[in-house]
Amino acid sequence: MAKKDAQKRYFIITFGCQMNEHDSEAIAGILESEGYIRAEDKEDADLLIVNTCAVRRKAELKVLALIGRLRPLKEKKPEMLIAVCGCMAQQKEVAEYLGKRFQHLVDLIFGTFAIPRLPELLQEARDKKGTVIDIVEVDEGREGILVKREDDLKAWVTITYGCNNFCSYCIVPYVRGREKSRNPKDILREVKQLGKEGFKEVTLLGQNVNSYGKDLEMEITFAALLRELNKVEGIKRIRYMTSHPRDFTDELIEVIRDGEKICEHFHLPLQAGSNRILEKMNRGYSRERYLELVSKIREQIPDSAITTDLIVGFPGETEEDFADTIDMVERIRFDSAFTFVYSKRSGTPAAEMEDQVPEEEKKRRIAVLIDLQNRITRELNENLVGSVQEVLVEGVKGEDPDTYTGRTRTNKIVNFKADDSFALAKGELCLVKIEAEQTWNLNGKYLKTI
Ligand code: SAH
Ligand code: SF4
Ligand code: F3S
């Protein structure tokens, strides 16, 4: 089987979140075990895959524009197979629309459940005239897939697939299915293997990592899983994405405090500061509960960083509700925030809600929010000037061989100078004295390797 496809080249273009990036690594792994090799660029590919994101309209528009631009390439190279997959493709109406709009251009459309079926789908797409579509929600599991990782220092490891939260604005539960935890043994085996291969950092992936294990028959929690993973040899840092503020237990805070590999970075999407809006969003916590969680974390782990996601312009968001979001941002002082303008996703409850906020007003609110958050991010970074931070070296920064780049345990980027008498290797942990800040990164000077 592998022989037949020898020399065929693939190229994957990925949109969206880490989950999607990691799915592309699984797709690459499948293709390589089928004998494909990676193409240098899309012009050079025999198979071009576009892995899409549906979380906001803007993400979808980017994908549509990109696919449209592939037409001249396909005309020049008609034997090239073009496939569209991922979260956009998983939606029935969108898959049908893509099939019609990009007839004779897209050969295969497959959803997030179909990744393990890719070899057969490719065969079908080669044999058949017209577009092949597989958006069946049958989950065959992914344990056997040999993932082809992009990086050799940091690795993503899925711990749960899907989401059961149904936040009222969000499309993810509809395109990724119900929450499904991986067996802890499989996760542990994968992380141990990564440690042996020389990876230094793992990021555990799930839409709501805190609910890990709830669907399994055995007794296991996210806190217990972290405790086990903290023992794995070779791995120096453990991160996770995303944790839901509703399910963050005291036990979990303690495990993070005590686990020397578990980074003190909490990404806790707040989404909105008003209780009325939080309830309409179906988030399952109040502003008071969220504040309580933040103070517990800061009490237990004073040097931690807290980051968040915020949405402005959710249906019915009044000036007062928005002021509540601003108030939370001022009180909590997040290290940084991803800020989004609410985007109507067809099929979600919020899309049917009345009082959609006018675009102009959403734009005004997001500008106010971004200004405030940038100021806070900068002030917090200023406070770090003079401190000594543990940095995992990721490589050389730009042209200058003596300037390195890496991240702190709290996930801040640090660019730093080291003496030119020796070279630092990617994957080394070192101490860096912070000397200056910019909004998005810190600058410093190498002290010593640890
Ligand atoms: N599971 C994660 C993240 C999912 S999507 C979580 O629960 O936090 C990443 C972010 O996109 C969300 O946190 C939310 O802030 C944003 N988002 C999701 N749907 C959106 C929509 N319809 N409009 C605007 N932002 C949205
Ligand atoms: Fe979407 Fe909410 Fe699930 Fe996150 S927790 S993926 S925001 S439904
Ligand atoms: Fe991720 Fe976008 Fe899908 S954010 S889960 S790729 S909709």
Residues lining ligand 3, Cβ inside 6 A: 16-17, 19-20, 53-55, 87, 171-172, 175-176
Whole-number Å distance, alpha carbon 229 to ligand 3 midpoint, is 26
Question: Could you give the residue ranges of the DSSP H alpha helices within 10-165?
Answer: 18-33, 57-69, 71-76, 92-101, 118-127
Q: Mean pLDDT over residues 15-44, rounded? A: 96
Residue to mutate, 170, 270, 356, ligand 1, most ligand atoms under 8 Å from C-beta: 170
**How confident is the model at residue 439, as a pLDDT?**
78
Whole-number Å distance, alpha carbon 275 to ligand 2 midpoint, is 18
> Is there an atom of ligand 1 within 6 Å of 98 CB?
no
What are the structural domains, with CATH classification, of the chain? 9-134 (3.40.50.12160), 149-263 (3.30.750.210), 388-449 (2.40.50.140)
Whole-number Å distance, alpha carbon 330 to ligand 1 midpoint, is 21
* 331-387: pLDDT as tens digits: 999 999 999 999 999 999 999 999 999 999 999 999 999 999 999 999 999 999 999
All residues at 6 or more sequence positions from 4 whose CB lies less than 8 Å from its CB, including other chains: 35
> Is there an atom of ligand 2 within 6 Å of 165 CB?
yes
> Is there an atom of ligand 2 within 6 Å of 20 CB?
no
pTM: 0.95
Ligand 3 atom nearest the C-alpha of 20 is: 6
Whole-number Å distance, alpha carbon 164 to ligand 2 midpoint, is 8
C-alpha 431/C-alpha 400 separation (Å) is 20
User: What mean pLDDT, rounded, does the chain reach?
Assistant: 95
Per-residue pLDDT at 267 exceeds 60: yes
Per-residue pLDDT at 5 exceeds 80: no
The protein residue whose alpha carbon is closest to atom 1 in ligand 2 is: 170
> Is there an atom of ligand 2 within 6 Å of 167 CB?
yes
> Is there an atom of ligand 2 within 6 Å of 172 CB?
yes
C-alpha 74/C-alpha 58 separation (Å) is 25
Helix (H, G, I), strand (E, B) or coil at 204: strand
> Is there an atom of ligand 1 within 6 Å of 269 CB?
yes
Q: Scan for tokens 């797409």, then name that residue.
A: 125
**Nearest ligand to the CA atom of 176:** 3
Whole-number Å distance, alpha carbon 266 to ligand 2 midpoint, is 17
* 66-94: pLDDT as tens digits: 999 999 999 999 999 999 999 999 999 99
Q: For residue 294, give Cα distances in angstroms to 266, 297, 412.
A: 9, 5, 19
The vertex-410 CA angle with 408 and 411, nearest 5°, equals: 65
* 274-304: pLDDT as tens digits: 999 999 999 999 999 999 999 999 999 999 9
The neighbouring-strand residues paired with 337 are 308
Q: What are residue 282's phi and psi, to 5 degrees?
A: 65, 45
> Is there an atom of ligand 2 within 6 Å of 348 CB?
no
